[in-house]
Amino acid sequence: MQDIQEGAVEAESAGPERPPRRKGENQDAWARVVYLLAGLAAIAVVFIKLQFSTDAVCCGDFDGYYHIKWSSLLWEGMRRSVFPPAFVWLPLTTLDPKGYVDHHLLFHILQIPFTWFLDLRTAAKVSATLFSTLAVFSCYWLIVRYRIRYALCWLIALLACSAPFLYRMSMAKAPPIAIVFMIIGIYLLFRKKYIWLLPLAFLFVWTYSLFVTLVAAASIWPVVVFWSERAFDRRSIWRTLSAPLYTIAGTIAGFVINPYFPKNVWLFYEHVRIKVTAGDFTTSVGTEWYPYESWYFLGSCIIAFAAMLVGYVAYDWTDRRRAARPLLLMIFSTLLMIASFRSRRFVEYWPPFAVLFAAFSLQPILEGVKNAFSRMPRDVIAELEPFLDRDPLPTDAARRRANFWDEPLLALVSFALGIILFFTYYQFTTLRGGGGSPAEAAVSVPHPLNKMAVMWVVIAFLFYCGILVVYIWMRRSAPKTFAVIVLSFVTVTLFINMQETARSIREDHGQHFYERGMAWVRDNVPEGEMVFNTDWDDFPKMFFYDTKHTYVSGLDPTYLLDKDKELSKLYEQITLGKEKDPGPIIRDRFHARYVFTDNEDIHNDFYYNALQSGWFEKVYEDEDCTILKIRDEKGEPPAEATEDESDAPEEGTDEPEN
């Protein structure tokens, strides 16, 4: 009955410590430890599986190569007592030696220990696995910490919330650390430990530019508290307003007490000016800043959308004393969802917070008896208080023991049924396609019925029904049976998301992409020379393999645009093949004699123009890239340029994809 009292008066959120644990609570403590360890193991298995689906640094883009290489260079600078070292590799952009700002500084420092014992590629993969595991585990820890029932079930929902979330969490980037900071910040708000928001915000600024999410959460919190507690005395108002004030103070300190101040302020302003816009971007930026196609976004994040819907429906506006936590998560996750509609990069934040919103909104319903007592008038609770402090009754102890086994049993049964359903799905896709993976089956022509597949589908269906019947007979609870069925389909979604994410990761460029081409550059291009790279997003991989040369554009096209708008426009015209005679311009305006270009179709116009102009000769080529050298004098086009002239694409047929 002590738990009923705590749920009614929110003693924990008010600040005082809990009374000493009673005998029945020891079992709860051990259960939470077991839940946390089991959750940590499950999360780690998922991200190890995804990360090592490829031998390259995961995934999608090459930014992870830049991050781990720069971490190693930071360490080399520290050993020479130079911190931070000069960044000399993009001299034509705002990231020149005088203007470079490392807005991931703490993230790069956190990566340094991994470079001591591992090669850089493995260091990036291991650190990415650890950080992504910690990100999801922090969300799960918040659920366990606040004793939300069926924690293991919520763990499945967290892992199944979104395929793009799993994909982007596997990248060797800073967003997983950002999620950890967000969870710590939300926990400090829940506990009203506002002063600790100051150092947290300081560290967040040093880690990643998404520190604005912490400022947003802290700014929302006073509104939530005033609405739920109706505490309008002067002391309560100032105490609550201290949350955003401490956060803003820590943010300002993070900018000012920074080796890159005041350049970091200008860089942040430039990011906001370019990226936060209602219309289209002023220049072509990375694909992560563009939205997903609507139907793909809905289908790949179906669990996150379902969680938001459940949270909206379950939220109890009448129970103000218990409304603060879910209300904060409602507003916060809704803002992240809206941002995800605008830009796909926010899908690495929104889905887990959608699940947290649903979990905290359903908490009163899942607690059952607590919810009933919390709705009693306060004077009635006060009259019952002497009786509520008594030792747990035998029936209460029995209920604790039942819950101790019931919650993991529900999760395990749901997980087992989900495995059976996924096996059925796999066999069904095999049945459609006549063999192979589900992805292959989806695009293949149906074959005659595979009798073996039909047999396995029938057997799996019988197993599913049999396990479900046994569970119904054991528990005799319609709500729990419904929950098991729903969660089994969530488990299927988890496995499908993992399968498709692992497939997408495997299809990305491999470990040795550009390695031979950049080895040629290292060995044949004089050290210190500028290399004209036709794609700004190739820079991280080029930088990873070769730090002896400088490059025209990299990390973000806005850095070249901000430094020199005319040069940026000229760069775009040349790389897209709109400039017929690019050789002299590259030599005189970009001060480069070597051109590194990938073999993608988007640069076909440039390639043909370059060869036909007579200014270029091809000095290296493989299946990944081509390297051209500008001649001292204009000559005859190479033979292949003349032979392939008729095959050149029409001007203006390609659009930039970056």
DSSP 161-194: S-HHHHHHHTSSSSHHHHHHHHHHHHHHHHHT-G
What tokens were used for 370? 């607590």
C-alpha 376/C-alpha 356 separation (Å) is 27
pLDDT score, position 474: 63
Q: How far is CA 508 from CA 167, 514, 516, in A?
A: 12, 13, 18
Q: Helical H runs in 343-477?
A: 350-367, 369-374, 378-388, 394-433, 438-443, 451-475
What tokens were used for 263? 């350049």
pLDDT score, position 367: 73
C-alpha 534/C-alpha 63 separation (Å) is 17
pLDDT score, position 78: 93
User: Do 8 and 370 form a contact (C-beta atoms < 8 A)?
Assistant: yes
Query: Measuring CA to CA, which residue among 540, 542, 538 is closest to residue 515?
Result: 542
- Write the CB contacts of 13 (distance below 8 Å, at least 6 apart in sequence): 190, 191, 192, 324, 325
C-alpha 100/C-alpha 49 separation (Å) is 36
CATH of 515-647, one of 3.40.50, 3.30.70, 1.10.20, 1.20.58: 3.40.50
Q: What's 301's DSSP letter?
A: T
pLDDT score, position 8: 43
pLDDT score, position 400: 54
Which phi and psi (to 5°) does residue 552 adopt?
A: -75, -50
Q: How far is CA 354 from CA 93, 198, 642, in A?
A: 38, 26, 58
Q: Helical H runs in 434-579?
A: 438-443, 451-475, 478-507, 515-524, 539-545, 557-563, 565-575
Angle between helices 2-9 and 378-388 (to 10 degrees): 150
Q: Scanning the structure block, which residue is given the tokens 């029409």?
A: 650
Query: Measuring CA to CA, which residue among 576, 605, 610, 609 is closest to residue 594?
Result: 610
What tokens were used for 355? 């699940």
CB-count burial class (<10 Å; 0-12, 13-18, 19+) for 509: middle
- β-partners of residue 616 are 630
Q: How far is CA 24 from CA 2, 4, 402, 603, in A?
A: 11, 14, 12, 69
The torsion defined by the Cα of 371, 375, 377 and 383, in degrees rounded to 10, comes to -10
Query: Measuring CA to CA, which residue among 265, 328, 288, 358 is closest to residue 557?
Result: 288
Q: Scanning the structure block, which residue is given the tokens 């004089």?
A: 526
Q: How far is CA 624 from CA 509, 596, 621, 640, in A?
A: 10, 11, 8, 19
C-alpha 130/C-alpha 512 separation (Å) is 24
What tokens were used for 510? 């491999």
C-alpha 494/C-alpha 490 separation (Å) is 6
Helix (H) or strand (E) holding 621: strand 616-621
ω into residue 637 within 30 of 0, thus cis? no
DSSP secondary structure of 229-246: H---SHHHHHHHHHHHHH
What tokens were used for 409? 């049993």
What does DSSP say about strands 530-533 and 592-598: parallel, antiparallel, or unpaired?
parallel
Residues of the chain with pLDDT under 70: 1-27, 231-233, 274-289, 368-405, 427-464, 466-477, 639-658
C-alpha 521/C-alpha 524 separation (Å) is 5
ω into residue 199 within 30 of 0, thus cis? no
Angle between helices 451-475 and 394-433 (to 10 degrees): 170
pLDDT score, position 445: 42
C-alpha 83/C-alpha 72 separation (Å) is 12
User: Do 568 and 283 form a contact (C-beta atoms < 8 A)?
Assistant: yes
